[in-house]
Amino acid sequence: MYFDNVSILGMGYVDAPHRISSASIEEQLKDNIQRFGMRPNLIESLTGISARRFWDPGVQPSDAATQASVRALEDAGIPKDKIGVLISTSVSKDFIEPSVAALVHGNLGLKSECLNFDVGNACLAFLNAMTIAGNMIERGQVDYALVVCGESSRDIVEHTLPRLQAPDVEEKYFRDRFATLTLGSGGVAMVLTHSRLAPEGHRFLGGVSLAATHHSRLCLGQNHDMTTDASTLLMAGLQLAAETYERAKEQQDWHKKDFRQYIMHQVGEVHLRKCAEILNVPHEKVPRIFPEFGNVGPASIPLTLAKVAEQGEIQAGDRVAFMGIGSGLNCAMMEVLW
């Protein structure tokens, strides 16, 4: 999937205000960590995650996405009535229905003609939504698209901890829910448009994707519980990433391009390090936000992009690779010319 006329015009993000350290979580689990013979400093030593963020109690995913959207529209410098489609990509949900997109649409007061819907594909949804929006822009269906994501990990972590504290909890049950403790919170939004409307924008060139859905039951998440076969998921994910990277080289000549940054889904240190090694990507070109923010689901890649850009680590003319993967398994790799 290659785009000729799609650009990123603006971005906005919001960090959740409460820093929850891995040490404070482990302190609540210390009895069972000792009972199972696990090492101290378990979360940080295995994942590199020192902390994650929580919203205030009662803050909903749509609230986070709305705050980020206001900032993205300000960054883009366009009035809200120009938005032709709003796509929400949040894994976290306010309700089963209506959609998060409908809630954000209402919060922002967008025009009634603006399409709004959710796209769900685990941690890959934001990249999928960028592709959908890009197609709509390229076909002339809309001039401007707003892609949003609001994630909140407070509820699932706070519901999981008491079960893991139980004196009779089994070790397998404990291990299967360990990844839940790495989840973070945040909000991010992106405005995309036709390149003729944004000569100062950043070209979204599209990318490639692959599926390995025979692995679709390695991570199963619900509102208050998530189970993960972490080791199998890691190995299956690395294999799919390698296959997707080969596809990017074949179809979009990635092996001939000099990328300034490789922005990967922010799961943890082992995942990023092994992925960089298997793809032969320089470690210094892989930015990391997970040590302080944890795994923020589909918000991870756009959050990392926004923070890297804010810090001046990418400049006009730099190529940036997005390397996303989500439970399912599905993988996508996409390119932006900054």
Active-site residue 219, yes or no?
Answer: no
What's the CA gap between 10 and 73, in Å, rounded? 7
CATH class of 202-337: alpha beta
- Number of separate helices (H) and strands (E) present in the chain: 11, 13
What's the CA gap between 334 and 2, in Å, rounded? Answer: 9
d(CA 81, CA 98): 22
* 125, 330 Cβ separation under 8 angstroms: no
Report pLDDT digits (tens) over 75-123: 999 999 999 999 999 999 999 999 999 999 999 999 999 999 999 999 9
- Phi first, then psi, for residue 264 (nearest 5°) are -105, 160
CA-to-CA distance for 121 and 112, rounded, in angstroms? Answer: 26
SS3 content of the chain, % helix, strand, coil (to 5): 45, 25, 30
Summarize pLDDT for 170-190 with one digit per residue, the tens.
999 999 999 999 999 999 999
> d(Cα 257, Cα 123) in Å, to the nearest integer?
26
275 is catalytic: no
Of 44, 114, 123, 149, the catalytic one is: 123
Helix (H) or strand (E) holding 86: strand 85-88
What sign does the CA torsion over 41, 46, 51, 53 have? negative
DSSP 196-244: GG-TTSEEEEEEEEEE-GGGTTSEEE-SS-EEE-HHHHHHHHHHHHHHH
153 pLDDT tier (thresholds 50, 70, 90): very high
Q: Residue 56 forms beta bridges with which residues?
A: none
User: What is the per-residue pLDDT across 248-286, written as a single tens digit (0 to 9) for each?
Assistant: 999 999 999 999 999 999 999 999 999 999 999 999 999
**What's residue 298's pLDDT?**
99
Quote the pTM value: 0.97
Tell me the residue length of the chain.
Answer: 338
CA atoms within a 13 Å half-sphere pointing along the CA-CB vector of 210? 19
Q: Can you tell me whether residue 255 is helix, strand or coil?
A: helix
Residue 1 is predicted with a pLDDT of 84
